[in-house]
Structure 1
Amino acid sequence: MTQTGERRSYCLFGERLTKTRAVITIVGTGGVGKTTLAHMVYKRTKAHFHFDIMLSVSQQFSVIDLLRRMLNKIGHWPKGLEIQKKKKKIEQSLPSDEEEVDNYVGTLKRLLNRKRYLIILDDVWGVDLWNQLKDALPDNNNGSRVLMTSRSIDVAKFADPRMVPYELGFLNDNDSRDLLLKKAQPDDDQLADLDDLPDALSKRCKGLPLALIVVGGILSTKNQSYHDWKRVLDTMDWHEEDIDCMKVLAMSYEDMPYYLKPCFLHLASFPEDYKISAKRLIKMWIAEGFIPQQGRKTMEETAENFVEQLFQRCMIQVSSRCPNGSIKCFGVHDLLRDLAIHEARQENFVTVFQEAEGINHSQRVKRPVRCYGLTLEKDSEYGYTYMPRFYEFRLLRILEIVGINVESEIQLRGLDRLAHLKYLGFKNCNGLNIILECSFGHFKNLETLDLRDTRINDTVRLPWKISSESIGRSTLDLWTIGTLRHVLVDRQHELYFPKWLDLRNLQTIKWVSISDEETLANQLPIFNSMRKLGVCLINRNINCINWRSVSRRLESLPSLISLGIIGWDIPNEIVYPRALPNYQNLQTLYLDGNWANNVTLNARLFPPHLVKLTLVGLTLRDDPMKELGRLMSLKILRVERLTYYKQNMICSAGFPVLETLFLEVFDLPDFNIVLNIVNGVMSKLKYLKTSWHFELEMPPELKHVTVVRT
């Protein structure tokens, strides 16, 4: 945190301590740093509250959705309510929106009663929001706080007239220069050669933090020389009094290399304040043809580098990273998203329709035959009432349907005309009947098939819902598609693989359910290109000898970095294969099974370079921490559904780079388990989550760690 940030966060909370519930509002123009300051306050103060919630609101908010998200954050959203609502939807007796809001408001108020809470609402546009939320946030006279960020001073005055709004102004010259140099990162020798250029560049940004960050990102990609920095200054050809943030942002777009521009413009297709999965985005970029083949690199590796370049240029805001350091999830600042939308429209690159009526009638879509990607995201609580006529989108390369959570049937007509389709995904489509009127053989260019987090009913006519006894022609057609790279389905879908399967580009298959010896021994698809594999073994009679053979084949794969094995009531040797130490390149390992006998963990039985380890269903009589601590590269450790018979777990050594620890006891003991972390151990720990019956003994040096008890 910068000294400026320290001062501002202290001004917000340190000088405004009262017992009554206070509503504090940070007010300022776009790009001035309201969200950044709110995040600083959240991180520094959340440990003092029973409940802490931080949510992005956005301009088009739904109060029902917002209340539901708040209930989710404090872990009290009743899952059964969704099922009840679906039934009521069918019976046409659903409560009105007002009744539903009243129900959520009452529930939230009851949960927050007598609790000290911190609620941060980012990017509030109008007074209506507070009008609808205030009754859910009781004044418990215990120091509860509500912090809002807004561009409108009226929001601040309306929410709490007693509190003076914190108006966030522009940075002074010194702070502007410091922020620019922090992002540009020249070394001391180079800085001396730059003369007065840092001052001149920062003054052109007029103290606006977002502009300084973006310009700093541009400079970080240049040679740290006087002439290169001078060329950047020359492109900022406006007078200081005419500064417009969008001019600076537009300059950052123009400075991008040609190959990065379409990747940035594609971000315009995501909703405001959306957390974008880098893996999902990368598959879309490849399907769109944005990613070139570069030497021996896979296109996925090249695309990961493109995402990093966008981050280096400060065009995206990283939310989380994978264990190997690659970007996992990120967002886009509102103003940068506005820039992407503006440039995309200028180049006829992306059209974003608000709500479903934008495509209700195909004549509203200009030249639909030129549509290359189509994502249908749930816009209402009950999914879609309309599905476009796909035969009008013959050049479609991406089709993704997201968030249909009701018992409904959708007939996808005209898919057989989509000969160019490369990405087909149904995400979070629970209870959906999907009827395809064509064989997968029509999709000769298909690269990604994604059905994760989707429950498909038995009545669905999809070709992968078959067994080896009832193989269909459409399944054979699916496996003739030589371009396939990623097949992602849930565990309940059994994939059948013919013996002649030969897919040299296949990199990901999750999850493969195997129930017979023949598939295990001969037909499990194993190729040198395989990077991620998930296997679900659902027959206790699967032979250990055959599994050893498969395991030896897996250890020879040069590119395998992620492996998941699930086994239900099967021998330990299958779930916990002896060949694991030979998986030299493996970074992520997931082992799950109802293990019949007690397992003695030994660090030497794991791959040597593991970064993420998940163990599910273990039964242990001995403390596992001594052995697990010897996995020197481990950053994330998850132990779920653990049966444990001792009263202590002691972390006395090891775990030099561990950042996340999750411990969950399944077979609840009659006593609490003391988790003792010795001083100097887990020094890099950032996040600790345990089930409620763990008692924590942690050294003072870990007081910064986020601790969650469930």
Structure 2
Amino acid sequence: MKKLTGTTKELDVLSIFGMPGLGKTTLARKVYNSPSIVNHFDVKVWCVVSQAYNRTTLLVEIFKQAINKECKIKENDNVADMLRKILIGKRYLIVLDDIWEVEAWEDLRLCFPRGEKGCRVMVTTRIEQVAKHLQHRSDPYTLRFLTKEESWVLLQKKVFRGENCPSNLVEAGLQISKHCKGLPLVVVLIAGIIAKMGREASLWLEVANDLSSLALGEQSMKVIQSSYDHLENHLKHCVLYMGLFPEDHKIAVDDLLKFWMAEEFVLNSETENMEEASRNCLNDLVNRSLVMVSTKKINGDIERCILHDVVREFCLRKLKEEKFMQLTVPSSPYQHLCSMNSRLCVYIHDDLVKQLDHCEYQFDKITLLESKESTKCFGECSRSLQFIAHPNFNPWKKSNPLPLLVKLKLVRVLHFPYEELPSSWPIAVQSLTDLRYLEISVEEFDFKWISHLLDLQTLVVCSSKFRRTSPATIWKMKKLRHVNVKKFSLVWDDNDKAIFEESSTTMLANLKTLHSHHICVDDMNPRFWWRFANLEELSLRVEALPSCPLFPSVEVHTRLQSLNLVISPREFLGSVGWESYFVFPSNLRHLRIGEWKASEECFPVLEELSIRTGYYYKEIPPSFADIPTLRLIKLSDYMDSLGVSAMNIKKEIEENTGCDSLQVLLLS
């Protein structure tokens, strides 16, 4: 209210931004109709823009409201010029409700004279990019979710119309308010339902328990549908896929982006790789208020995201409606393959989690996969099979997964990290030649068992024990982008080391991340890292001095941004000239390390420094305070002097910049 009637004389644009159903229009309408606003402005106009706007129609509507009377507009009239002349010299308030495109504002803005009268334009939008583009002097106003208490106040207001809530309904009412998840639209819709019901606690509790289906009535369906219709096809696929994760599940973004890539929802363009394209898709969905940010990394990237329950329920309905993915549950006899071109998802609904220990709900008892006809259909499908289970459910607890895996010949994403697979798992994987993403937990692993997976992009292998394996056959999998085998040491046999000779041209050009318990570097030659020329993340354990510097060539590591380096045993750190083996690439942004000697000049763009088991390291050089990008120092198992040096760096940065920009985490 103050921003509308404040002392600023220049034209200002105030944007109200938030996801569908948060009450943007309601707030704008309340402000617009306020007596103090009515009396403050000479001209007041309210216009709904919407997605399919027409510039001429909008201008005519604004003009008619501005002159406050009906008039006939001739076909050759310059409405934009007429409107501008009417507004000149007047203090006006123009409300543009539900604006979707930056272009819509660009079409209208020249019609609004700036002047010195304290004129205002107020817009509502669910698109963050639009809100930021329209920003003049005032920051966009981002609507937040209601608290449980605020939801309860709104629910009472809508249901009881000023009367007090009977005491026997308070507990049930609070339960309903909690399940509305802070979205005013849901509160209002549910209020409309329970206001017509008898005032019995049992009836209200039924509503609370069945809130997801009740909340997604016709009105809220239309609200989400309008955002969905505005998406490009690949974005529709991305958000529908997210609907398959459990309710309130905080989705790990790094995994989600790899799932999208594996399903080929996102294809790389000429100017960006697949990872960048996938992250841009997620940012676009967040920008459109369909996906919520749960946590962010220190560099501002999204770490975990979440769907609001209303958006998630919409996605589940849309999945079935568009036959994008067929949902099934184990041991249901009334299921058939509805489309040969749809994905099949063995989806465990939240309500079923409590029953999942029963044998009839095991994954080896999927009726749809037991018939020969269905199995044949799956073999002819052009799409893939996708299996998503509830994280609280262990699908292999009482069943053998291998007979099921053999049937999933078109599966692209196999994500089973929680329970160790039987030793015969390589036999089942032989037929899964379409795999793009493989994450498993096994006791034994060898790259030769999966070297036939030529389309594999992501490999994550977990184990309860430390093992060694030869990566000799990894060179066959040219499409590998991310490899994480943290419990396995990669050791090349003597017969396989010819690959590192200068005459060899073999390389994994697509590999972005490589994490291993130990990579044997003692026989490393200067051409070693040229085989992994585009690495961005590397975890490396050094157990002996290499025969040449660890990073011998600056050119080959221009993309490396994250390094996790373990030096063990530490005895050789005191050897003469050992520092020359550890000259780090200058483009590192994230460094996790136990020991090193270096100045800030080695890390000009470093954002995160993590030192573990730092009992042998007394301090971080004070010059690290001069790294302008440094945002986080994380210490674990450290000497007191190391912690003191980190806090001194933080203090110096605050004194030099006046900003509390460095976070220091001290973990004992």
Instruction: Pick the TM interval, shorter chain.
Output: 0.5 to 0.7
Could you tell me how far 1:364 is from its partner in structure 2? 4.9
SS in 2 for 1:489: strand
Please name the residue that 2:545 is paired with. Answer: 571
Deviations, residues 147-202 of structure 1 (Å, cap 9, x unaligned): xxxxxxxxxxxxxxxxxxxxx98884369999989997799987733659x99995
Q: Give the superposition deviation at 1:289.
A: 3.8
> What displacement does 1:417 show?
2.4
Task: Give yes or no for the alignment of 1:665 onto 2:665.
Answer: no
Aligned partner of 2:385 in structure 1 is: 397
SS of the aligned residue for 2:586 comes to coil
1:193 counterpart residue number: 110
- Corresponding residue for 1:319? 294
In structure 2, C-alpha distance between the alignment counterparts of 1:318 and 1:632, rounded to whole Å = 29
The one-letter code of the counterpart of 2:332 is H
Aligned equivalents of 1:278 and 1:553: distance in 2? 28
Helix, strand or coil: the match of 2:239? helix
**509, 524, 529: which one pairs with 1:546?**
524
- What secondary structure does 2:610 align onto? strand
- Aligned residue pairs: how many? 476
Find the counterpart in structure 2 of residue 478 from structure 1: 450
Residues 485-513 of structure 1 show CA distances to partners (whole Å, capped at 9, x for unaligned) of 22121374544444594222222222262
Q: Report how far residue 560 of structure 1 moved.
A: 2.1
Given the alignment, which residue of 428, 434, 454 partners 1:445?
434
Shift of 1:663: 1.3
Residue 533, structure 1, aligned to residue 520, structure 2 = no
Higher RCO, 1 or 2 (CA under 8 Å, sep at least 6)? Answer: 2
Candidates 319, 323, 331, aligned match of 1:344: 319
| Aligned position for 2:67 | none
> Structure 2 counterpart of 1:445, which letter?
D
**One-letter amino acid of the counterpart of residue 314, structure 2:** L
Write the mapping of 1:211-230 to structure 2, written as runs, cut at 5 A.
212-214=124-126, 216-217=127-128, 219=130
Q: Deviations over 1:624-665 (max 9, x none)?
A: 6x7147522222221112124537863563221122221123
**TM-score of the aligned structures, taking structure 1 as reference length:** 0.55
Deviation at residue 330 of structure 1 after TM alignment: 1.3
8 A contact 2:633–2:664 mirrored in 1: no
Amino acid at match of 2:564: Y
Give yes or no for contact 1:282–1:304 (8 Å, CA) kept in 2.
yes
**How far apart, CA to CA, are the structure 2 residues paired with 1:293 and 1:448?**
17
Moved more, 302-311 or 372-381: 372-381
Contact 1:218 1:252 in 2 (8 A): no
Residue 418 (structure 1) aligns with: 408
> Which residue pairs with 1:254 in the alignment?
229
Tell me, in whole angstroms, the C-alpha distance in 1 between the residues paired with 2:515 and 2:479: 17
Q: How far 1:251 moved relative to its partner?
A: 0.9
Residue 345 of structure 1 aligns with an amino acid whose one-letter code is: K
Cα offset, 1:253, TM superposition: 0.9
TM-score, normalized by length of structure 2? 0.58
Does the C-alpha gap of structure 1 residues 194 and 220 become closer, same or farther in structure 2, counting only changes over 3 Å? farther
The whole-number CA distance in structure 2 between the counterparts of 1:581 and 1:319 is 37
Q: Structure 1 residue 295: deviation in Å? A: 4.5
Tell me the distance in 2 between the aligned counterparts of 1:639 and 1:295.
Answer: 38
Are residues 178 and 603 of structure 1, via their aligned partners in 2, closer, same or farther at CA, if it must alter by over 3 Å? farther
- After TM superposition, list the pairs within 5 Å mapping 1:483-522 onto structure 2: 483-490=455-462, 492=466, 494-498=468-472, 501-511=475-485, 513-518=489-494, 521-522=497-498
Instruction: Tell me whether 1:173 sits opposite 2:36 in the alignment.
Output: no
- Superposed displacement of residue 426, structure 1: 0.9
CA distance in 1: counterparts of 2:573 and 2:299, whole angstroms: 31
Alignment of 1:518-667 (within 5 A): 518=494, 521-522=497-498, 526-537=507-518, 544-554=522-532, 557=533, 559-567=534-542, 569-571=543-545, 576-579=550-553, 582-594=556-568, 595-598=570-573, 605-615=583-593, 617-618=594-595, 627-628=599-600, 631-644=603-616, 646=618, 650=622, 653-666=625-638
Q: Which consecutive unaligned segments of at least 5 residues does structure 1 have?
A: 5-28, 35-167, 203-211, 225-240, 459-463, 467-474, 684-696
State yes or no: 1:465 paired with 2:445.
Answer: yes
1:285 maps to what in 2? 260
Distance in 2 (alpha carbons) for counterparts of 1:497 and 1:437: 16
* Residue deviations 1:640-699 (CA, integer Å, cap 9, x gap): 121245378635632211222211235x5699745343578556xxxxxxxxxxxxx999
CA distance in 2, matches of 1:487, 1:516: 19
2:660 matched to 1:702? yes
2: distance between equivalents of 1:381 and 1:682?
55
C-alpha spacing 1:584/1:702, structure 2 compared with 1 (3 Å):
same
Separation (CA, whole Å) in 2 of partners of 1:661 and 1:654: 14
Flag the structure with larger Rg: 2
Any residues of structure 2 matched to 1:38-437 within 5 Å, and which?
A: 172-173=30-31, 192-193=109-110, 212-214=124-126, 216-217=127-128, 219=130, 244-292=219-267, 294-295=269-270, 298-321=273-296, 326-350=301-325, 358-364=329-335, 367=338, 371-374=343-346, 379=353, 385=359, 386-389=362-365, 391-392=369-370, 394=378, 396-399=384-387, 402=391, 408=397, 410-412=399-401, 413-429=403-419, 433=422, 436=425
Matches of 2:349 and 2:551, distance apart in 1: 41
How big is each residue's C-alpha offset from its partner over 1:584-642, in whole Å with a ceiling of 9 and x where there is no partner? Answer: 11111111232333378799922121121111x32x6xxx6x71475222222211121
Contact 2:471 2:491 in 1 (8 A): no
Per-residue deviation, 1:314: 2.0
Q: What is the identity percentage for the equivalent residue pairs of Structure 1 and Structure 2? A: 17
Distance in 2, Cα, partners of 1:308 & 1:560: 24
Q: Distance in 2 between matches of 1:271 and 1:265?
A: 13
